[in-house]
Amino acid sequence: MQRHILRNKNKITIISGVLIAVGFLSKWTMGNTEIFEWALIVASIFGVAPIAIQAYQALIVKVVSIDLLVTIAVIGAFVIRNYEESAIVTFLFLFGAFLEQRTLNKTRSAIKELTEMAPESALKKLENGEFVEVDVDEVDVGDILLVKTGAKVPVDGTVLTGEGSINEASITGESIPVGKEKGSNVYAGTILDNGTIQIVADRVGEDTTFGKIIELVEEAQDSKSEAERFIDRFAKYYTPIVLVLALIIWIISKDIELAITILVLGCPGALVIGVPVSNVAGIGNGARNGVLLKGSEVISDFSRLDTMVFDKTGTLTVGNPSVAEVEYYDDNIEEALGYLASVERESDHPLAKAVLEKIGEIQFSIVEDTEVIKGEGIIATVSGHKIAVGNLALMDREQVELSEKAKADVARLEESGNSLVLTAVDGELKVLMGIRDQIRPGVKEDLQKLKRLGVKNLVVLSGDNQGTVDVVSRELGLTEAHGNMLPEDKSEYIKELIEEGQIVAFVGDGVNDSPSLALANIGIAMGSGTDVAIETSDVVLMNSDFGRLPHALGLTKATARNMKQNILIAVGVVVVLLAGVLFSDWMNMSIGMLVHEGSILVVIFNGMRLLRYRLNRQ
C-alpha cells in the first residue's frame, strides 16, 4: 500500500488541488460551507497520506524530516478543526516536491546510446593468413585486424599496412578526416572513410579510448547524484526545533491549541514552495529563450561559475570547413575555377565540398586520367590541360614554382590555421584557397559578456593541432588554449581544475565531449550536438545558439538570488509569526494564517519575476 501511494503521489497532488478548488468555488459562488469543509477534509486526508509515509520511512532511518512536521501540523489542524490550513499545507508541500522532482530528474539513456555506438565486430587474422569476422570481445592485444572502407575501427591500434583517411569526430570532435599510414595510431569507434588498412591491437575492450569515454561518463554522473537538497539540510535542524518548541509550550502552558498553532504557523509553506517556484520560473524563462536548464542544482552551481571551458569544433566554430580566403594568380581565372570545380566534383573529401560551395554555379568539363596521390591531392586531365589540385607537397611533386607573393600568401594562410588547396594548370599556380572551420558569428562579443558576468577564465580544449587552436584563442581573446587533446585528456584537465577549487563549466557538442560534460560542475551542450552530449549535460543551448550562453549565466545568477530572497522571506515570516504567538497578545490563528498565506503569495510573485528577466537589464 505504501509503495502504491508513493508511486501515485503526483496523481494525489492533482486530486488534492482539484478538491481544494472545488471547496473554495462552492463557498464563494454558492455559499455552501458544507461542501467547502468536506472537500478540504478529503483533500487533507489524500494529501497527508504520502507525506506521513515519507515521514515514517525517514524516522525508521533516524531522520527527522520536514515531512514529519507537516504531518503533525496537519493532524493538529484537524484537532482544532482548521481544515483549510491542513489542505493547503499538504497541497503546497506535494506540489513543491513535484516541481523539484521534475526539474532534477535526468535521463540515464546516454550510457545506452554510447554503448550502441561502440564497435561490435572485427575482421581478425588467423594463423593461416585469412581474416574472419569475430565479436570485438574476442580480440586480444597483439591481434592483427583488417579495416575496410566505411567500417568502424574496432580497437585502439597501430597501422601495419595500407593507407586511408579516418573520420575521428567521435573521439577528437574534428570534422576533417585524418590521413593514416604505416605507424599511425587509430582509435576504436572511428570510421575509415576510404582505403584499407591492417592494424595491430594495442588496447581492447574497456581500455580503448572509446571504452574510457563510457566509463568516464558513468563515473562523473554518479559523482553528481549524491548532492543533497538545501531544504533537506535545513529540515535537519529546523524540524526538531519547531517540534521541541511546540512540546515545551504545551508542557508549560497546558494550552494544546497554542502548541498546535505554533506547529501550524511554523510549517514552512513559503519555504516549501519558494525554491521550486524560483526554479520553475527560471527554467521557464530559459526555455522561452532557447536555454534548457536541468534543475536547481544546476542553477546553484552555474550562478557561482568562475571558469568556462570550451570545445572548439561545433562550439566556438561552426563545425564545417569552408573557404576563408582565396588568392588568384591569373587574369582569366574563370577557366581555372571551372577546371578546379570539375576535378573536385569527383572527390568526396570535405575540403572538396568546401571548394565547390565557394565556386558555386559554373560550367563543368570532362575529367580524364584521374590519379589520386595519397596525402597530397589529385592530378587529372581536363580539356587537354593537366590539372593538379592539392597541398604544397603536390605542387613540389609537379614542380610548380611559387612566386614570392604566392609564398607569402601560403605562409600567411598557414599562420591563420588554414588547410591549403592549391590549383595548378599546366604547371602554373592559378588559385590558392585557405579552408578552415569558421568562428561562429558574434562569439567574441558573447565571450566578453561572460567576462562581465564574472567568468574569470575562458579556456579552449581541442583535438585539433595546437597552431589552429592558438589562432582561435588569439582571435577570441581566450585565457588558455590546449590542442591535440583526446577525450581522456580533456576530462583530466577538467578534473584538475575542480580539484583546485574552481567551479567549472564545459561547453561541447559531440560524443567525445560527453565525459567532460558529465564531469564538469556544469555541462553545457549545443542543441544540434549528439543526443549523448545533450543528455549528459546540465544545460542545453537549443538551436546551438551560442548567444544564449550569456543569457543562461545571467539568468542563473538572477534565479539563485531569487531563491535566497524567497528563503529569507519564508524563514523571516515564520520567525515573526512564532515570536508574535509567544510574545504578543494581538497574534492569533486567523492573523497568523493570513500572514502565512500572504508569504506564500509573496514568494510566488517574487519567483514569477524571473519570467520577465532579460540580460540587458542586469
Cα(71)–Cα(89) distance, integer angstroms: 10
Grid coordinates representing 84?
Answer: 483549510
Q: Tell me the backbone φ, ψ of residue 422, rounded to 5 degrees.
A: -105, 145
Sequence letter at residue 410 = V
Question: DSSP labels for 270-339?
Answer: HHHHHHHHHHHHHHHHHHHTTEEE--HHHHHHHHT--EEEEEIIIIIEEEEEEEEEEEE--S-HHHHHHH
List helix spans (H) across 398-530.
404-415, 443-452, 466-476, 487-499, 514-519
Contact (Cβ atoms closer than 8 angstroms) between residue 229 and residue 100: yes
Cα(439)–Cα(251) distance, integer angstroms: 72
Residue 191 Cα to chain centre, angstroms: 25
Contact (Cβ atoms closer than 8 angstroms) between residue 542 and residue 517: no
Contact (Cβ atoms closer than 8 angstroms) between residue 8 and residue 48: no
Strand runs labelled E in 173-264:
178-180, 185-186, 191-203
Cα(321)–Cα(353) distance, integer angstroms: 9
What's the Cα-to-Cα distance from 70 to each of 67, 108, 368, 444, rounded to whole Å?
5, 33, 84, 51
Cα(112)–Cα(309) distance, integer angstroms: 26
Grid coordinates representing 336?
Answer: 581555372
Chain position carrying cell 605562409: 411
Crossing angle of helices 589-608 and 548-583, in 10° steps, is 170
Cα(135)–Cα(122) distance, integer angstroms: 6
Cα(57)–Cα(491) distance, integer angstroms: 39
CA angle, residues 312, 317, 321, in degrees to nearest 5: 110
Cα(565)–Cα(233) distance, integer angstroms: 18
Cα(489)–Cα(545) distance, integer angstroms: 27
Question: DSSP labels for 538-587?
Answer: SEEEGGG-TTHHHHHHHHHHHHHHHHHHHHHHHHHHHHHHHHHHHH-SS-
- Report, as residue numbers or ranges, the catalytic residues: 311
Contact (Cβ atoms closer than 8 angstroms) between residue 240 and residue 72: no
Pick from 522, 519, 595, 577: which is nearest to 553 by CA? 522
Grid coordinates representing 27?
Answer: 463557498
Contact (Cβ atoms closer than 8 angstroms) between residue 293 and residue 391: no
CA angle, residues 103, 107, 111, in degrees to nearest 5: 150
Name the CA dihedral angle for 192, 194, 197, 199, rounded to a multiple of 10 degrees.
-20
